[in-house]
């Protein structure tokens, strides 16, 4: 019996640019592209979790334009951050219920960073709202979250475009959506240098940028990371749709391609692909999976 290729989405962080992901999902659904698994970091975790929990595109679009700092953030009493995302948990629970990651309609992984060990952690079980909150908690600004004895913060610190995480979920083809599209403002001098360096560091954290089968890069270079206005969110959704639509022919061609038409993986002589990437090895480590 002929089986189709399984498709996974890797959704990057990007703060207020998160609605771009909603636009991408909108375009993929409209084109009939299946989504069999999602891994998300930070803003990508929020959108990915909501979709995997069963929210349909119109509900996702409403979530994107209605969400702002006041709905998820408050002052923190923690010595680890000035702001707390504690409000994000009941906010997400009101939308999708108090559910476990394992119980979602579509398999999902939230990527967080273990601050003590400095590695990405792939959350595939436990309370969904807590996993998403931890994945969105930017260290030094947002107070981190304790999960199973580990102090967890924003997944974008160590794996901003979690291609490895979603590929480990058994998919054949990975579509990655990168929201850290950088811009260099030379006229700003040292501040421009610093801003560009931070964008590049986050963009390449984890190496997913180079590992996707299809990379979607929306035209958002220079757009604000912190503008949560309704108008800006709607613009981001439209930019996500446009970027995804450009890639639809490429994606459909790849999914229609027979397995034996593709370039064979490197083999160690036993017909088994060599795991040369340390991130793939880490997936097998207990410390990287929760």
Residue 126 CB-density burial (10 A; 0-12 exposed, 13-18 middle, 19+ buried): middle
Beta carbons within 8 Å of 63's beta carbon, 6+ residues apart: 22, 47, 50, 55, 95
**Strands 108-114 and 37-41, bridge-based pairing:** parallel
Beta carbons within 8 Å of 266's beta carbon, 6+ residues apart: 273, 274, 276
Contact yes or no for 9/175 (Cβ under 8 A): yes
Which among 12, 36, 42, 288 is annotated as catalytic?
Answer: 42
DSSP secondary structure string for all residues of 116-131: TTTEEEEE-SSBHHHH
**Catalytic site residue 84?**
no
**Catalytic site residue 154?**
yes
Which among 67, 84, 137, 154 is annotated as catalytic?
Answer: 154
Cα 265-120-290 angle, rounded to 5 deg: 95
Contact yes or no for 154/113 (Cβ under 8 A): yes
The SS3 call for residue 282 is: helix
Tokens found for residue 248: 């639809």
Catalytic sites, residue numbers: 42, 154
């Amino acid at each position: 019996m002929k089986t189709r290729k399984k498709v996974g989405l890797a959704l990057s962080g990007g703060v207020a640019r998160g609605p771009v992901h909603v636009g991408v999902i909108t375009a993929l659904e409209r084109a009939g592209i299946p989504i069999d698994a999602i891994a998300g970091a930070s803003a990508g975790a929020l959108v990915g979790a909501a979709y995997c929990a069963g929210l349909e595109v119109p509900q996702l679009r409403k979530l994107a334009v209605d969400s702002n700092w006041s709905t998820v953030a408050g002052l923190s009493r923690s010595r680890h951050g000035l702001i707390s995302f504690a409000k994000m948990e009941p906010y997400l629970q009101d939308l999708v219920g108090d559910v476990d990651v394992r119980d979602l309609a579509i398999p999902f992984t939230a990527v967080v960073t273990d601050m003590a060990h400095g590695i990405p952690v792939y959350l595939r079980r436990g309370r969904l709202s807590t996993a998403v909150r931890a994945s969105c908690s930017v260290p030094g600004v947002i107070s981190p979250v304790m999960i199973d004895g580990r102090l967890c913060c924003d997944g974008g610190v160590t794996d901003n475009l979690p291609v490895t995480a979603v590929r480990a979920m058994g998919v054949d083809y990975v579509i990655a959506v990168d929201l850290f599209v950088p811009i260099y403002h030379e006229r700003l001098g040292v501040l421009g240098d610093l801003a560009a360096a931070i964008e590049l560091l986050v963009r390449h954290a984890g190496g997913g940028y180079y590992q996707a089968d299809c990379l979607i890069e929306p035209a958002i270079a220079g757009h604000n990371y912190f503008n949560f206005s309704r108008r800006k969110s709607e613009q981001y959704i439209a930019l996500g749709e446009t970027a995804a639509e450009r890639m639809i022919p490429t994606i459909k061609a790849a999914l229609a391609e027979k397995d034996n038409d593709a370039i064979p993986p490197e083999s160690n002589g036993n017909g088994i692909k060599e795991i040369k990437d340390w991130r793939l090895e880490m997936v097998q480590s207990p410390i990287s999976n929760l």
